[in-house]
Amino acid sequence: MKSRPLLGLLYMVFGLALLVGGLFVPAHLRALDGIVVQSAGRSGRTLAGEEQALAGANRLGAAQLLLQASSAGNNSGDEPFKAALADRLRQNPGALFWGADAHTKTIFGGTFQPADQNSFFTDFVIRQENREAALAQLRSSANVTVQELLRCRALAQLAVFSPSSSPAGQAFDAGVATGGLLLDGGYLTPGLNSELLNLATQANHGNGTLPLEQVLLDLMSLGQRLNWDQLTAFVAPVPDAATLHRLTDATRNAGGKLPVLFAAVELSGKPAAVTGYLAKFADTGWADLGASLPYGTGGVGELVRRQQRFYEPKLIRSVAAYDPFGGFYVAAANFDSRQPGLALAVKWFMYLLAGFLLALAVHFSRPAASMRERPLPVRGFHLVREFLFSLGFLLVVLLGSEPFLAPDGPKGSASLRLVLPTTGGAVPAGIAGIKQTIMNPTILLTLLVFFVLQALLYISCLAKLAEIRRQNLPPRMKLKLLENEDHLFDAGLYLGFVGTIISLIVASMGLIKFSLMAAYSSTSFGIIFVVIFKIFHLRPARRKLLLEAEAQNPAADTYVPAATPAPVLPS
């Protein structure tokens, strides 16, 4: 008996150690820890290395955008590269606009002026002399898709553009020239190339021109914000027209963050995943992508592959600066980068086991049962209570430690508009509807938490009822013990009322968006679980005990009338 406090202390130490260890496993449900991004970034190219590679290949326009993305992160190590890039620009000014594409540059001959190197490609190709030069070159192209695209200039009716034969046909010709030059230079993927061929063929056979015009609008919209070298690098990994449209929409919404988008696509090579990430996290996606750029291709690729928000736990990072926490933290990050699902399962198991050990610590810290109380405990039932406590402990720890548990709200996508010089206005390029969810995700999470808490309390009441029924006591004593547990059996109602009150207070303070349904669900779940327990479990158990008590002592409660006194007769 004297060893019980020592055993309780050992359980507490091991439980707290497991809890701390779980906190240092960088695996999360809806977040990607910065240390995992850093671990993934150890393999692959770095942002600085990609800048050097592009500059070495004379692709100065693309290198300049990467440099701007790096400078946005206040990277002081960019100064030497800035000087080297400026020196290369002095030696070859045209490389900022054309990059290493000397063939396309020669198409326009002397029409390219030094001032054009700071302009964008759509502004350049929309000019009459440049359009004509590009179209003349494309007529001699051996690319089948280019020739099919040029035949579309003979169409008399278009959905968005004005036909080439009309006075306002310069916009369509500029789009055809842009798409044709990208095709002729081999800058588009085979998938996008074949899709363009199919769309142009359908348009020439009278099966609708809108899909083809949408692709040309997307290319011209990108050209409004990028020069030729940047445009060719940006569209190079695009696999299909749908991804091109999403990438164009993201580019339009980027504003001053365009270098971040360009760098993310260039490093990851996955434009569909990048645009999907920005669509999923409209509010924080740009900052998260920017935070992953210093970790190179591996870091950006891991972020967009997982489709989770970037998370930097400052407290954990500060503690991890000291051993042995730092070594464990890095090892766990390497494990998570290889097996994310297993790492999350290990973390949750550590939390669960920590709660179980802490409950055992409390159990063994209590004094041993007295002589009168020794018939009450039932062997093994305390383990059930401790396991239920560990489940509740797991839920509480997850609510307190997991970042971004409540899913993001509905996202909207703005329509795309293209402004071209000399075309006289804006051309709509499609309108995307705003999706709405049926219920606020925060409400769903709240309902789930209330339901799980009430379910755990319901199971604990079942365990207590089963324990009393198995105690080595007479039925009448068991009935008394059931009456003593009435407050426990009504705890679901108390918990429900407390949950509703807290929810209403939080909602009234405006801390989170809430609804009355979420607030009153706590009380509703409490009523439902308590009613089920008392009607279907407690009531039959009491009836059975009453019958057993009556069978053991049938005369105990039998009514016996008082004896009638004998009349006193007069003597």
In a domain, 480, yes or no: yes
Which domain does 519 fall in, by range? Answer: 442-552
In a domain, 171, yes or no: no
* 516: its two tokens: 């009355």
In a domain, 532, yes or no: yes
- Do 390 and 474 share a structural domain? no
Q: Higher confidence at residue 127 or residue 373?
A: 127
From 384, 401, 418, the end of a domain falls on 401
- 559 exposure class (CB count in 10 Å sphere: 0-12, 13-18, 19+): exposed
Contact between 179 and 216 under an 8 Å Cβ cutoff? The reply is yes
**What was the pLDDT predicted at 434?**
39
For residue 130, the tally of other CB atoms under 10 A from its CB is: 20
Could you tell me which residues come within 8 angstroms of residue 247 by beta carbon, excluding any fewer than 6 positions away? Answer: 218, 222, 234, 235, 238, 265, 271, 274, 275
- Do 382 and 453 share a structural domain? no
- Do 451 and 533 share a structural domain? yes
- Do 545 and 479 share a structural domain? yes
**What was the pLDDT predicted at 429?**
45
**Residue 87 binned pLDDT confidence (cut-offs 50, 70, 90):** confident
- Do 454 and 375 share a structural domain? no
Q: At what angle do helices 285-292 and 296-306 cross, to 10 degrees?
A: 150
In the predicted model, what is the mean pLDDT of residues 452-478? 90
**What was the pLDDT predicted at 555?**
57
Does 324 sit behind a cis peptide bond, omega within 30 degrees of 0 on the bond before it? yes
Give tens-digit pLDDT for 157-194: 999 999 999 989 999 999 999 999 999 999 999 999 99
**What was the pLDDT predicted at 86?**
84
From 401, 416, 432, the end of a domain falls on 401
Among the ranges given (149-163, 456-470, 514-528, 548-562), the one the predictor scored with the smallest mean pLDDT? 548-562
Residues counted in the chain: 571
**What was the pLDDT predicted at 363?**
84
| 50: pLDDT strictly greater than 70 | yes
In a domain, 419, yes or no: no
From 345, 371, 401, the end of a domain falls on 401
- Do 542 and 446 share a structural domain? yes
What's the mean pLDDT when you consider all of the chain?
86
**Residue 563 binned pLDDT confidence (cut-offs 50, 70, 90):** low
Distance of CA 36 to the CA centre of its chain: 15
Q: What span, in angstroms and rounded, lies between the C-alpha atoms of 489 and 462? A: 9
- Do 368 and 465 share a structural domain? no
Q: Which of 503, 492, 476, 506 minimizes the C-alpha distance to 537?
A: 492
Q: What span, in angstroms and rounded, lies between the C-alpha atoms of 504 and 311? A: 30
**What was the pLDDT predicted at 451?**
92
**Residue 437 binned pLDDT confidence (cut-offs 50, 70, 90):** very low
| 394: pLDDT strictly greater than 90 | yes
Alpha helices in 366-490 (DSSP H): 381-401, 441-470, 475-484, 486-489
The dihedrals phi and psi of 84, each to the nearest 5 degrees, come to -65, -40
* 496: its two tokens: 């429900």
Number of domains in the chain: 2
In a domain, 540, yes or no: yes
In a domain, 474, yes or no: yes
Contact between 184 and 214 under an 8 Å Cβ cutoff? The reply is no
Residue 496 identity = G
- Do 534 and 465 share a structural domain? yes
**Residue 257 binned pLDDT confidence (cut-offs 50, 70, 90):** very high
Cα atoms in the 13 Å half-sphere on the side-chain side of 495: 22
In a domain, 15, yes or no: yes
Give tens-digit pLDDT for 259-299: 999 999 999 999 999 999 999 998 899 999 999 999 999 99
Q: Higher confidence at residue 416 or residue 533?
A: 533
**DSSP per-residue codes, 95-149:** HHHHTT-HHHHHHHGGG--GGGGGS-HHHHHTSHHHHHHHHHHHTT---HHHHHH
Among the ranges given (308-317, 413-422, 488-497, 529-538), the one the predictor scored with the smallest mean pLDDT? 413-422
In a domain, 255, yes or no: no
